[in-house]
Amino acid sequence: MIKRRKTREITLGTLKIGGNNPIVVQSMTSTKTHDIEATISQIDRLIKAGCEAIRVAVPAKEDAEALKEIVKYSEVPIIADIHFVPYMAFLSMEAGAHGIRINPGNINKKEIVRDIVLEAKKRNICVRLGVNSGSLEKHLLEKYGYPSAEALAESALNWSEFFESLGFYNFKVSIKGSDVIQNALANEIFAEKTDTPLHIGITEAGMGTQGIVKSSVGLGILLYKGIGDTIRVSLTDEPEKEVEVAYEILKSLGLKKKGIDIVSCPTCGRIEVNLPNVVKQVQEALKDKDLSIKVAIMGCAVNAIGEASHADVGLACMKGGALLFKNGKILKKVTEENMVSELLETIEKYYQEV
């Protein structure tokens, strides 16, 4: 069981972050925000995938204006992503954004950061304070020689203190290093020194297997240490994929329950049934169901009975069929032809009972 870092609770729209609240899964739209129809349609898909807070890019005035409609429509909090043009932060707050993300390092003047923070305070808007290796302050670069983990953490601590000196606490911090190790270290240093909630992610993780692995390792290291109050998996892919991967990471660490958790064996020469086909059929049948359940589908008697009996529902396959388990107990022997339908029926019953 992972012991999560104790952080202060903050509010993003109707969502509570930090404290004892579950880790929040975030993603970001890839549409032009001013294309309201396309953005709303993507938000719908993200919500369906389980996304709990959604960031949208606000590079121009027309994007900030579109926020008025988008915020009205969205069932989850909307965060305006601001870079380089602080005016967009004010417009986004005016338009009703529940949160804004700023990187003080790319806003030249401290007074402007102060004004943004005071406006957020007045409107009770959540701010994500971002620090990354590309926009580190000159004095820290001089002090450390390069954007080291220590330099990134120090920048985040300095800005946090500045926010707090303005009496503003409704913020979280994100620190993005250039690689997985530096990222982990910078977040750890920061986490040890404050109770400010952390948004964690591996920026620009990439595409396909590389992106998923990099994100899983980077987030996994921090989550295992109890660090992380909101997460985003950044992939060069559809945003829904980011949400799917985020849940898989959290599920694998026992930090969130969503959807079915299928434990299936990799198969080997002992296999007596078409296991990949069985797993595919079960996944397909349950993909749109909002169930939290652990299902074991194992290829033979080696490990199978143990694994299947530890799951909520399971199949331990054998020549010509399988043993069907529920709550650790064998229910019956099923034939190969019927094993999928019998398993699905048992899952249905399991849900009626819990």
Q: Which residues bind ligand SF4 (CB under 6 A)?
A: 265-268, 270-271, 298-300, 302-304
Q: What is the DSSP letter of 31?
A: S
Give whichever of 58 and 300 is closer to ligand SF4, judged by the CB atom. Answer: 300
Give whichever of 207 and 302 is closer to ligand SF4, judged by the CB atom. Answer: 302
Residue 268 annotated as lining a ligand binding site: yes
Buried b (16+ CB within 10 A) or exposed e, 33-66: bbebeebbebbeebbebbbbbbbbbbbeeebbbb
* 53 backbone dihedrals φ, ψ, rounded to 5°: -155, 140
The stretches of 166-207 forming alpha helices (DSSP H) are 180-193
Shortest distance (Å) from residue 300 CB to ligand SF4: 3
Outline where DSSP puts E strands in 76-226: 78-81, 99-102, 126-132, 171-176, 199-202
Shortest distance (Å) from residue 273 CB to ligand SF4: 9
User: Could you tell me whether strands 171-176 and 126-132 are parallel, antiparallel, or unpaired per DSSP bridges?
Assistant: parallel
Shortest distance (Å) from residue 272 CB to ligand SF4: 8
Shortest distance (Å) from residue 281 CB to ligand SF4: 17
Give whichever of 30 and 303 is closer to ligand SF4, judged by the CB atom. Answer: 303
Shortest distance (Å) from residue 262 CB to ligand SF4: 14
* Residue nearest ligand SF4, CB atom distance: 299
Count other C-beta atoms under 10 Å from residue 354's C-beta: 9
Give whichever of 233 and 304 is closer to ligand SF4, judged by the CB atom. Answer: 304
Give whichever of 124 and 277 is closer to ligand SF4, judged by the CB atom. Answer: 277
Residue 307 annotated as lining a ligand binding site: yes
Which residues lie below 8 Å from residue 242, measured CB to CB, with a gap of 6+?
27, 28, 232, 233, 234, 235
Binding residues: 265, 268, 300, 307
Binding residues for [4Fe-4S] cluster: 265, 268, 300, 307
